[in-house]
Homo-oligomer: A and B are copies of this chain.
Amino acid sequence: MPMPDKSRSIEEAIAQIPDGSSIMLGGFGVPGTPFCLIQELVRQGQGGLTLIKNDANETGMGVDWLLENGQVAKLITSHIGLNSNAVSMMNAGEIEVEFAPQGILAERIRVAGAGVMGFVTDIGLGTPMAEGKQKVTIDGKEGIVETALRADFALLHADRSDPFGNLCFSATARNFNPLMGMAATRTIAEAEAIVPLGGITPDDVNLPGPFVDDVVALPELMEVYGVVER
């Protein structure tokens, strides 16, 4: 029995996303951000989106394209300090922004991908972050119940994929990508290279194919994927 083929065109993959969807976007800064998938989402113009991403990229790239185009209702993130546009829109009430500590954001996504309902942590206890959150006591110690964070879609950037969607990431372009790929109802991955089935060593797969629904081959990379000149 051959493994299923999940290759799609970028138009077809992104067209599955309706208005009002929640969408996880891989990436920590530039590395791992699925710029081409985001660009297609801008072209198709779906609105009222809830985005979940570690950061808001920088002004003029990635998440910022969606902000500029008025497609974003809410952003769940750990840090938006490099995108002054996102900060301004937040302060002006044009978008809702929900912050989580970076590792808590990652773990909320990880446990959603693990199919559990939440986790218990002492991170943020005694600070305003703990306010309004459910508490439980384990072995005499108080903890905060952090809920699993799922999304309707995940858009990932991979270095390599095979047609089944086994993904490999390069260096720090891994970051949130495999976690988000596990936590979304439908996972769409762009890949710099699509290798034949069997072209990835089974031990070296960073995100196994069962989590991936659509694989999109990238053409030559746009400049935005490159080293950022400062």
Interface residues of A (CB under 8 A from B): 107, 110-111, 114, 116-123, 134, 136, 138-139, 141, 143, 145, 147, 168-171, 174, 201-204, 206
Using A107-B116, A120-B120, A203-B206 as known contacts, list a sample of 5 further A-B pairs with CB atoms less than 8 Å apart, ordered by residue number in A.
A107-B114, A116-B121, A118-B136, A120-B145, A171-B203
**A139 contacts B147, C-beta separation under 8 Å:** yes
Name which residue of chain B comes closest to A206, CB basis: B203
Residues of B contacting A110 with CB < 8 Å?
114
Residues of B contacting A171 with CB < 8 Å?
202-203
Contact of A117 among B111, B121, B170 (CB under 8 A): B121
**A119 contacts B116, C-beta separation under 8 Å:** yes
Given the complex of chains A and B, what is the CA–CA distance between A201 and B136 in angstroms? 42
Contact of A204 among B122, B141, B204 (CB under 8 A): B204
Residues of B contacting A138 with CB < 8 Å?
117-118, 134, 145, 147
Contact of A120 among B118, B139, B170 (CB under 8 A): B118
Given the complex of chains A and B, what is the CA–CA distance between A168 and B111 in angstroms? 24
Residues of B contacting A114 with CB < 8 Å?
107, 110, 119
Given the complex of chains A and B, what is the CA–CA distance between A107 and B111 in angstroms? 9
Residues of B contacting A206 with CB < 8 Å?
203
CB distance from A136 to the nearest CB of B (A): 6
**A136 contacts B139, C-beta separation under 8 Å:** no
Name which residue of chain B comes closest to A143, CB basis: B117
Given the complex of chains A and B, what is the CA–CA distance between A201 and B171 in angstroms? 10
**B168 contacts A143, C-beta separation under 8 Å:** no
Given the complex of chains A and B, what is the CA–CA distance between A110 and B114 in angstroms? 11
Given the complex of chains A and B, what is the CA–CA distance between A78 and B206 in angstroms? 26
Most chain B Cβ neighbours within 10 Å, of A110, A118, A204? A118
Residues of B contacting A139 with CB < 8 Å?
147
